[in-house]
Amino acid sequence: MIDSEKIASDFPILKRKINNNNLIYFDNAATSQKPIQVIESITNFYTSTNANIHRGVHTLSMEATNLYDRAKERVAEFINSTDSESIIFTRGTTESINLVAETWGRANLDENSEIVITELEHHSNIVPWQELIKETNSKLKYIPINNDGTLDLSNLDQIINSNTKLVSITHVSNGIGTINNIKNIIKQAKDVGAITLIDAAQSAPHMPIDVNDLECDFLAFSGHKLLAPTGIGVLYGNKKLLEEMPAYQKGGDMILEVTYQKSSWADVPFKFEAGTPNIAGAIGLKSAIEYLMNLSMAEIRNHEIEITEYAYEQMMNINGIEILGPENIDERAGLISFNIPGVHPHDLGTFLDSKGIAIRTGHHCAMPLIKKLGSHSSARASFYIYNTKKEIDKFITEINNSMKYFNHV
């Protein structure tokens, strides 16, 4: 079982006091905090091994290259990819999705093509496709949602059809926490010969991911949501597809040969990693993944089910509360988006901050989804390995206090 209080001791920032209160950090869907092990791995790189990779024969360069390459191997192990050459380091999920849109998408879509996404998507998995269909004259279709924020798959065989060339869907909604049954959707896509891309930004930090079992063609996630630094992300890709795709950015380190007349590209994955990469970020990501794997992703998921169920039950006792997303905890990740009667989400967030509690307020970069559910914004509490039931109790107390405060102002 996860010992959250012991784990919290590894996170220096959790010792902070905010407005004279112990910090309670419930904004993990936006970004997670970083354990000392990750911080030290980055510090050690800069203090003892800092050099550019792939370009030097001196000791520091070879050491840095080895650390970078080992980070890819650890990522491959984390998602059960059989080949680390299928791992591309990006700046995050957003860049990973844009990479696929700008390379595979431009090369393979035309006026007869359809892209399928869902009504649950983060803006990062909507906007690139909206822009791409303008240029390719293809069509964008949405899998709708039910009133409880789960996907309505009743007409899936009509939405995903012979015209579908790409299905790009979120594994877990960052807006309301819905966990999608992506295996069934991937199977439907494969049956019609469509390519699949999974946005795993909200699932990779919280539950086991197995790309071989999923049989997806692409999968993207961000390091900063799973204890790693900002500015480092992952795109896993089907190696055959990656080899067929054109290069994304051009420049140093992604080339095979350059003459004054023409250039040719290096093999996958280097073809997609132009310029000096985020070496320190990759090293931090490796350390973060090792930290999580040591805890066990299955145990992390069990902890989040327990703490989310506890929070959900306590919150349902708040008079008039509106909770967005599925009631079934097994269909919900470790986050709860909600609205409190008579209290604007931004006011609630400010009030909770005065008590040392950090939550997220707004549309959560899922504006169409929040509007579809009848709101303009919501408050969102999202949990992770260092959060406890004791923190939930404090959270509930202060929500009730906020209602008393704002309803008497």
SS3 209: coil
Q: Is-above-0.85 flag for pTM? A: yes
DSSP H helices, 202-262, are 211-214, 239-244
> Per residue of the chain (409 residues), what is the pLDDT tens digit?
899 999 999 999 999 999 999 999 999 999 999 999 999 999 999 999 999 999 889 999 999 999 999 999 999 999 999 999 999 999 999 999 999 999 999 999 999 999 999 999 999 999 999 999 999 999 999 999 999 999 999 999 999 999 999 999 999 999 999 999 999 999 999 999 999 999 999 999 999 999 999 999 999 999 999 999 999 999 999 999 999 999 999 999 899 999 999 999 999 999 999 999 999 999 999 999 999 999 999 999 999 999 999 999 999 999 999 999 999 999 999 999 999 988 999 999 999 999 999 999 999 999 999 999 999 899 999 999 999 999 999 999 999 999 999 985 4
Question: Which of these CATH numbers, 3.90.1150.10, 3.90.580.10, 3.20.20.70, 3.40.605.10, describes 4-35+296-404?
Answer: 3.90.1150.10
SS3 273: coil
Domain positions in the chain are 4-35+296-404, 39-294
Give the separation between CA 234 and CA 281, rounded to whole angstroms. 11
Residue 409 pLDDT = 46
DSSP H helices, 102-155, are 106-108, 127-136
Residue 329 pLDDT = 92
Q: How many residues does the chain have?
A: 409
**CB distance 29 to 382 below 8 Å:** yes
Please tell me the CATH code under which domain 39-294 is placed: 3.40.640.10
Give the separation between CA 25 and CA 15, rounded to whole angstroms. 11
Give the separation between CA 352 and CA 115, rounded to whole angstroms. 41
Q: Which residues are catalytic?
A: 365
Give the separation between CA 287 and CA 228, rounded to whole angstroms. 8
Residue type at 83 in one-letter notation: D
* End-to-end CA gap in the chain: 44
